[in-house]
Structure 1
């Protein structure tokens, strides 16, 4: 979704973070055409790399937060890093939209494409408890 602010002359393009209404935004000074979002699909490899870079940033922040004693934030960002890494895989394989925050569910989706994800489910499922409980 792109939002524009005529007062400042910029747009903000958003990448939905799955099923919630929260969005990661990046300011852009280029105003896309009204149909650009629907007519231009991102390259799967580029989109996968973009999501993987976000996962790596979340993981780096997780390590920093844990080292400084911010354990709830470290737990939440661990879940976010796993979620985004799994989404990176799905986008790199051509998924147009990935919905949901459950690491377990995302692993199930990834395992439909590559069975090497299957053994990860038991170890990664506990991350799901940190999505909400550490935020409130």
Structure 2
């Protein structure tokens, strides 16, 4: 792997960790819609980190579909391949958690409950955790945690 690919993988994974932390904070503040979006984003960034690390082709890095990324990364990392249900659940939050016109009525903040947000964060924790475990097994321990942890 080139140094740039490893650097990109590290940058994406660190941001995934911060997004996951922010998702948890948003639940505590009652911003469940934002927590769901950040859970999706944490998962997307963790998976993109892994795809960078694995040397994936550019088109695989341009998607926002967690299902597609899990399928791609799962070809090489079996622990990620088992996360299709979590990816499907989180993909459902990519648009509706942000845009009022993606819902039949109302706006995202009034539709997202704490239970939905906690479920989304749990799914994100599973995805980010699987990517973190993969890096730990590869002895890439320099970027599997935040500086302030």
TM-score (norm. length: structure 2) = 0.60
Q: Distance in 2 between matches of 1:42 and 1:130?
A: 34
Structure 1: gaps (5+ residues)? 1-40
Higher relative contact order (CA 8 A, sep 6+): 2
The equivalent of 2:4 in structure 1 is: 43
2:44 to 83, 91, 94: 83
Q: Distance in 1 between matches of 2:4 and 2:56?
A: 11
Q: CA RMSD in A?
A: 1.5
Alignment of 1:68-107 (within 5 A): 68-95=29-56, 97=58, 98-107=61-70
User: What secondary structure, in the 3-state scheme, does the structure 2 residue paired with 1:54 have?
Assistant: helix
* 1:115 and 2:81 matched: no
Structure 2: gaps (5+ residues)? 100-149
Going by fraction, where is strand more abundant, 1 or 2? Answer: 1
Q: Distance in 1 between matches of 2:64 and 2:49?
A: 13
1:17-75 deviation per Cα after TM superposition (whole angstroms, max 9, x unaligned) = xxxxxxxxxxxxxxxxxxxxxxxx86221110100011011111101111100000000
TM-score (norm. length: structure 1) = 0.66
Deviation at 1:133, TM superposition (A): 0.4
Comparing 126-135 and 110-119, the one that deviates more: 110-119
Q: Distance in 1 between matches of 2:57 and 2:21?
A: 27
The equivalent of 1:27 in structure 2 is: none
